[in-house]
Structure 1
């Protein structure tokens, strides 16, 4: 267990400012390098100028540059949390090892703990409807419509797969879940505020995609409308997803269940119930049933499968910061 304090050692204003700096650093870092910028935002000259002007976020050079930038920002955010905890501990015991262990626990990064596997099943249960439709389409693992070359290898041997299913989820969960929630807990924020307010940073951090859609669309009125629509949908989705992951993090006291959830959701994408009902008209009733059953199962699992008795962030009988 990390070192705890009888009163919040950080002010709410301080937590807000530091959390905002984490989010800003993560987003701004993606544009600091000229190699990470898209489309016409690039200022490169010479024989590679036209190629650079047509780059998208899925180009390997852009992904590599952004991975370096985001990893740097993520490491700095974790270091700031450590320095903050160390400063607090220093007033008490001047123990670097204690500060490091406490920081790792607050970030949910402790290993070899006897955690239940049940929290990892919560998100798949929510996706019972889409999983059932995937089964009907014979595209679950080892069904006839599934293949290693099409469904597995692109995850491991392409930069897009590495970004979407490994690097992106890891850095985003560390910054927007572990670091941000650790700050607000040190500030004595209520669980409701941490669950429903902190994910707004996660949602807002995705607004920069609007500029990318607008730029790649030629900066036309049509591109602006498309960017606005996509961004509003993404803002709503990422904020709702942030509620889900914040709850998982606080209940389990670990970053690993929300990280698994992030990866799983990236694999599955948004549910496509309208398409699925159209594609399998003879299975409409069963598809709707599986969607409803998934929602009911998700509510039950979130309440009954996620709480770790040792979670620092979910103590009903003690006030510890």
Structure 2
């Protein structure tokens, strides 16, 4: 258990300032280096059919270029380390000197606990950390059922370690999408941000619903860069602009909704593991495509519908009953006094 306070040890303006630092440093770091920026030639309007992605020239650089990915992975990791360091500095600054003299590692232990890095088996069974990781897979019962029909689930006929598993974690795109990206984003925008707002006494409702919106708003700059990439990749036409705008709006909406989910998981469990697992799982599965799945298996339309509905009902149930830790700093059990 970290060192706690009866009253919030920092002010909301301090939390706002640190949250701005977390976001600006993370998003901005992705574009500070010249190697991390995308490069497109000026005249591409006649290079492609409207609505189709054009072929990239050798001198151009998209967000999936190896040079760009390496630079952004490095920048994001450094920014994440700075954000964690800022939380440690904050926790140490509010820790009484008597506690530091008694145990010099008090500030470090408190920081790790507030960031959800430590796992509390002293007050909870191991299931408290396992069940929350299964909430998102329950929501995906529909898509998982379709994958089962297509025989593409692990160890089915059309799945292989070399073709399906290794590319997720051994390629640069895989490392970005399924390892470094989810881990650094959850550390910065879930653990660091929620830790400092909790120390400022923000309500759980505000932390669940407002911090992801702030993240989504601030991350709009990054999404605008993604929109610029899409606009260029599709030929800088009116159709390309429409595709870029729609994809950006979808990304912003999805980012906010998923942020609500992960913030809730983090606060309920006091652990960073369930949000990270959820993030990685969603990135692997992608957004559910009900219409496409029914088109793939028209004779299984009713079972697919039932699987999707079962996933939604299961998600609602498990979000309440599978996510409560017995002694969470951020979400104390009924009758227990709030701690900061």
In structure 2, the partner of 1:163 is 176
TM-score (norm 1): 0.93
Q: 2:67 matched to 1:61?
A: yes
Does the CA-based 8 Å contact 1:29-1:69 persist in structure 2? yes
Structure 1 partner of 2:338: 319
Q: Which moved more, 1:215-224 or 1:91-100?
A: 215-224
3-state SS of 1:108 partner: coil
Report deviation, 1:111: 4.5
Partners of 1:60 and 1:162 in 2: how far apart?
Answer: 11
Matching of residue 279 in structure 1 with residue 296 in structure 2: yes
**Alignment partner of 1:85 is 2:87:** no
C-alpha separation in 1, matches of 2:312 and 2:35? 43
Counterparts of 1:41 and 1:11, CA distance in 2: 48
Q: Which residue of 2 aligns with 1:136?
A: 149
- Report deviation, 1:191: 0.5
Partner of 1:72: 78
Distance 1:115 1:181, change over 3 A: farther
Of 150, 163, 170, 1:150 maps to 163
Moved more, 141-150 or 248-257: 141-150
User: How large is the RMSD of aligned CA atoms in angstroms?
Assistant: 1.8
Separation in structure 2 between the aligned mates of residue 92 and residue 190 of structure 1, nearest angstrom: 29
1:179 aligned residue: 192
Q: How many residues align?
A: 313
Of 81, 97, 113, the match for 1:105: 113
CA distance in 1 between counterparts of 2:235 and 2:146 reads 37
- Distance in 2 between the 1:223 and 1:281 partners? 32
**CA deviation vs aligned residue, 1:100-128 (integer Å, no higher than 9, x gap):** 00000000001474542111111110000
For residue 93 of structure 1, give the secondary structure of its aligned residue in structure 2: helix
Q: Deviations over 1:34-79 (max 9, x none)?
A: 111002399xxxxxxx74x411111111111101100010000000
Q: Which consecutive unaligned segments of at least 5 residues does structure 1 have? A: 43-49
On the 8 A contact 1:39/1:215 being kept in 2, the answer is no
Gaps of 5+ in 2: 43-56
Shift of residue 25 of structure 1? 0.8
In structure 2, C-alpha distance between the alignment counterparts of 1:197 and 1:189, rounded to whole Å: 10
- What displacement does 1:217 show? 4.0
Deviation by residue 1:229-249 (Cα, 9 ceiling, x = unmatched)? 111000111110000100100
Task: Check 1:164–1:137 CA distance in 2 against 1; reply closer, same or farther (3 A cut).
Answer: same
Distance in 2, Cα, partners of 1:220 & 1:32:
28
Q: Secondary structure at the match of 2:99?
A: coil
- 1:222 corresponds, among 231, 235, 239, to 239
Report the CA distance between 1:11 and its aligned residue. 1.2
Q: For residue 27 of structure 1, what is the aligned residue in structure 2?
A: 27
TM-score, structure 2 normalization: 0.88
Q: 1:214–1:227: 8 Å Cα contact kept in structure 2?
A: yes
